[in-house]
Amino acid sequence: MEKTKNLLWGLVFILLGVIIGLNSMGITNITIFFSGWWTLFIIIPSFINLFNKKERITSITFLVIGILLLLCAQNILDYNLILKLIFPIILVAIGVSIIFKNNLTKIKGPDVKNSEEYCATFSYQVIDKFPKNFNGANIDAVFGGVKCDLTNTTIKSESVINASAIFGSVEIIVPPNYQVIVESTSVFGVVTNNYETKDSKKIIYIKTLSLFGGVTINERKSKDN
């Protein structure tokens, strides 16, 4: 995936260099600075970033906005109309992300039954106590915050944590010596993974969705460190 993005960026700069070179030698007269050329700074990165599964919905949203702005610059559409549509487009993107959030992640993990449910709405919640047979948890922060500390949790084999931050924040603290596999989807949000995954049979699958919010995965350092 990263190779594809690098290839596309390379082709963009090669094409730009060839056009400028041919124009300089008088072979061609291709106009680079056409009406709305600045929208390419939105359209091109958004298109290339479509190859990144983690940021696909955000890329589609910005790609649509960039194309609409280009059409406005070309006097095909009216700017006032587009300004009225931008906010609804963002809301639609958020709605699609929420509805299909369980289908946006592609990592394989165990089917979790009877997982723990936690939700903080306009509040802050600290979760540090879990049942002995911990299989996983669903964590939602909506205009609020959740701190999930797995330090004293015993995971025998595998577990799945689904974390959603919608205009909020979720912090997941994982003890050392676990293998952590993260799949993230962000729409105007950010997911930060500070955990150095280990080669362990104990696996934690963390699937995140960030909508105008943030999810952070930190490692709980041992007392010896």
pLDDT tens digits, 68-102: 888 888 888 888 888 888 778 777 777 776 666 55
Report how far Cα 99 is from the mean position of its chain's Cα atoms: 16
Residue 159, pLDDT score = 86
Go through 147-161 and write b for each residue having 16 or more CB atoms within 10 A of its CB, e for each that does not. Answer: bbbbeebebeebbbb
Residues of the chain with pLDDT under 70: 1-2, 52-57, 97-115, 133, 221-225
Helix, strand counts (H, E) of the chain = 4, 10
Dist. CA 157–CA 52, nearest whole Å: 30
**The pLDDT value given to residue 148:** 92
**Percent over 90 (pLDDT), the chain:** 8
Chain position carrying tokens 């970033």? 49
Picking from 39, 21, 37, the residue whose alpha carbon sits closest to that of residue 29 is: 21
Tell me the average pLDDT of the chain.
80
State the angle between helix axes of 40-48 and 56-73 in degrees (0 to 180), rounded to the nearest 10. 150
pLDDT per residue as tens digits for the range 93-112:
777 766 665 555 545 555 55
Q: Which residue carries 């004293």 as its tokens?
A: 152
What pLDDT is attached to residue 145?
93
Distance of CA 182 to the CA centre of its chain: 11
Query: Token match 């330090």: residue?
Result: 151
pLDDT number for residue 2: 60
pLDDT at 112: 54
pLDDT at 220 (0 to 100): 80
